[in-house]
Amino acid sequence: MKYIIILSSIFIFGCNITKLVKNPPFKILDAYYQNWYGGREGVKGIGIKIKLTNISGNVNFKNLYFKEHKLDLSVNNSGNEILLSANINTGYKPENMQMHSNPKKEYGNTLPQNKKDFPFKLKENEAVIEYAENKKTSFYKIILNKKKDLFMP
């Protein structure tokens, strides 16, 4: 009996379960993501745009969870619509990476960062908006449309 109580406690308190809301205090007009590529090698990323309307109450948008990234949201208010945007830099900077047959010559390269526990299990085109309404944090899952890649000179 003692082991059942201990295992139950570990399961209840150890799981990182985040509850999603079904009816947010806003309406989504458009939501998409787009791969973008710069004019130089290694300059690329993913841009996310979400257009909202009918925002009721005191809503403060915090973060966006997408492709195992927790992203800061940029909020642009234009009348009765709000545009949320975020960006993932997927590029690399080859000038900061020293590759050599002798591993000692690679000293100083930055190690790839380990992904921390991501609180959501999302499909390729799903994202979660984190927002606070009257100081209560909530999460809402959305579907993002994939737009055509953007190539910038």
Q: What domains appear along the chain, each with residue ranges and CATH number?
A: 21-148 (2.60.40)
DSSP 107: T
At 135, is the pLDDT very low, low, confident or very high (cuts 50, 70, 90)? confident
Determine contact, residues 56/26, Cβ cutoff 8 Å.
yes
pLDDT above 70: residue 134? yes
> Which of 91-95, 110-114, 138-142 ranks highest by mean pLDDT?
138-142
Determine contact, residues 24/138, Cβ cutoff 8 Å.
yes
Give 28-70 pLDDT, tens digit per residue: 999 999 999 988 877 899 999 999 999 887 899 999 999 999 9
pTM of the model: 0.74
Residue 94's identity, in one-letter code, is P
